[in-house]
Structures are given as structure tokens and as C-alpha cells.
Amino acid sequence: MEKVTVFGAGSWGTALAYVLTLNGHDVLLWTHRADQADELNSGTNERYLPGFRLPGTLKATSDLQHAIRHSETFVIAVPSKAIREVCAEISGGMDKSALFIHVSKGIEPDTHKRISEMIREEVGTEQLKAIVVLSGPSHAEEVAKEHPTTITAASEDKEAAKRVQDLFMNQFLRVYTNTDVVGVEIGGALKNIIALAAGLTDGLGYGDNAKAALITRGLAEIARLGVKLGATPLTFSGLSGVGDLIVTCTSPHSRNWRAGNMLGKGKTVEEVEASMGMVVEGIRTTKAAYQLSQKVGVPMPITAALYSVLFEQVPVEKAAEGLMDRVKKDEMEDMIDLL
């Protein structure tokens, strides 16, 4: 039995705290809202996991110092836009080092930093035992129902990745390890762009051919960018690559797919964001990935088309037409770096 603190009590933080509690660990779930801590301690999280009953052994707090002191194993489960703020606050309150496990999927616009890079910038080297990213096809709603799920724990520190595998693995959650942090983080972040686009084409009524095209060509452009940034090509055919692409592009559980679907049915970006009530990482990541693709000179036509819809008010039908009208190509063109 280990002591673990989960920071962030949205759908994923709550589901992972549940898994760790089931696995026999002493888990403290931190939320920045005192009213939510009270609700969690009474056994529910209605906004983020409606109908789900938390076990009585899973405790919650909104006291950050209490949460930091509870353990030396931290699971960071807040949206990417809150990573810097939350990690800086945690770092400011730490008096011993800790293992940081992050589960967020995003890239920061303008700096183009991955989550583990932001954590390293906010937490002192002497405070970090290691950083592990936990990623893969895993809707919180299904994990909370104990449905079979597979994910990967990636770290440059193999022993740390194995420790995370041991912490989370059980009969319904199978955890693999990987050493390709860049590939796992890029795959997890960029699949949200393609999921938004898949929701959008579903909203337009384009059907399955269009979705298969988005998943396949989306994977090609994600891998192209990832390899340029130092990822191992094979990682993109794994759980955090094609696995997460499939689950997010095809499931109504996906907030990114749902947001895209609303856009395809004519809602504005502002209307979609206001109505979701949960994080839609793909919008921010589209901006970051578009900027990054321009900076490093990697063609990412789907990302560019979505960027034009989200940030340049290009009508969705026009963006889709633009994708189909592009110059004729060989399927494997621009893929040479992946060999």
C-alpha cells in the first residue's frame, strides 16, 4: 500500500483516484474548490462523473498543504492550461521530493511546450524524483465502470515507469511501459485535434469514409510532427497514438468529438466552449500544433484546416473542400522521416 495524492478532481482525476483506491492505496484527492471537496467526501462528483459512487475510503481535500504533505507520489490531473499554475503552487509548498505522474493531454500555445517540459520549468530539479506520463485510450466514464482499458506509462526513467505500472495496474486496467516520452505526449495531445475534426465531419453528416480518412491521414501528420520533435515512429502505432485516436474520434464520450460535432451542426466556438462545462483540450492544442508545424516546417493540412475554422472564421464546408482540393500527392510523400 502506498500513499498517493491526486491533484484535480475532474472526470479523469476522480476516476484515477478510484482506481488507486481499489488497488489498496491510501489516496487523497485534491480539488481547488472547498464545496467540491465536501461533495467528494459525501461520495459523489455529479458534475464530472454523474451517477458514480466514490468509495468511503477515498478522501478529498481542498487544503493544498495537506495534499502535498500526504504523499511523495503526485498524480497531476488538471487541464493543460492549469498545469503551470498548479505545479508552481505545489512546488512552493514541498519540503521533500516527489514522483510526478501527469495525465494531461495538450501543448502550450506560443511556447509549444509539452506537459512534462512545463512541469520541469515549474518544479525544482531537486523536488522531482521523476516524471511519468500516463496516456492512452481511456474515457474516465468507462474506467469508473471498471470496463477493460489499456494505457501506457512513459518515462525516461524506466524504473519510475514500472512503479507507475505497478500502482495502477489491476484486472480492468492494463498498463504498459514506454520510454518515448515525446511520442506519448505528442500522440496524446494531437489526437484531440483530429477528434474535433472527426466530430465536425460527423456533424456535417459526411459519414464513415471521411472519418476513416481523418484518422489515417491525421495519424500521418501527428507522426510527422512527432518524429521531427524526436519521437520514435513506432510509438504512434501504439496505445497513445492510434489507440487514443480511435477512441476519441469514434466515441460520444469524447468532449473533443462532441465539441466538433456541435461546430459541424452550426454552433460557434464560443457557444461550444460555454456549453461543454468540461475541458476541450483540442481547441488550444490546434493553435499550438499549427504554430509549431509552421515553425519546424512540417506539413499538417488537417490541423491547418481546423485552425482556419477555429481561429480565422473560415466556414467548415470551405475548410473541408480545401483539404480535398489540395495538390495531388503520393500517399507516402512527406513520410520519409518515419522510415
Residue 236 interacts, among ligand 13P, ligand NDP, none and using kind-specific CB cut-offs from 5 to 8 Å, with none
Closest CA to 231 of 181, 287, 279, 183: 183
Mark 279-308 with x for binding to ligand 13P (rule: CB under 6 A) and - for no binding: --x---------------------------
List C-alpha distances in Å: 301 to 68, 169, 225: 43, 38, 12
Residue 214: other Cβ atoms inside 10 A: 25
Residue ranges of alpha helices (H) inside 279-338 are: 281-296, 301-311, 316-324
Q: How far is the CB of 330 from ligand 13P (least distance, A)?
A: 32
Q: d(Cα 119, Cα 168) in Å, to the nearest integer? A: 21
DSSP assignment of 208-241: HHHHHHHHHHHHHHHHHHHHHTT--GGGGGSIII
Mark 192-211 with x for binding to ligand NDP (rule: CB under 6 A) and - for no binding: --------------------
Find the binder of ligand 13P among 21, 31, 80, 248 (CB under 6 A). 248
Find the binder of ligand NDP among 79, 218, 241, 243 (CB under 6 A). 79
Find the part of the chain contacting ligand NDP (CB under 6 A) among 80-88, 157-165, 213-221, 312-320.
80-88
71, 6 Cβ separation under 8 angstroms: no
Residue 137 binding ligand 13P, by CB under 6 A: yes
- Footprint on residues 123-152 left by ligand NDP (CB under 6 A): 138-140
Find the part of the chain contacting ligand 13P (CB under 6 A) among 22-30, 33-41, 170-178, 247-255.
247-255
Residue 66 binding ligand NDP, by CB under 6 A: no
Residue 11 binding ligand NDP, by CB under 6 A: yes
Strand-pairing partners, residue 61, are: 30
For ligand NDP, give the closer residue by CB, 194 or 320. 194
Our CA angle for 131, 87, 96, nearest 5°, is 70
Task: Please give the DSSP secondary-structure letter assigned to residue 28.
Answer: E
Q: How far is the CB of 272 from ligand 13P (least distance, A)?
A: 13
Active-site residue numbers? 191
Residue ranges binding ligand NDP (CB under 6 A) = 8-13, 31-33, 48, 77-80, 82, 85-86, 103-106, 138-140, 278-279, 281
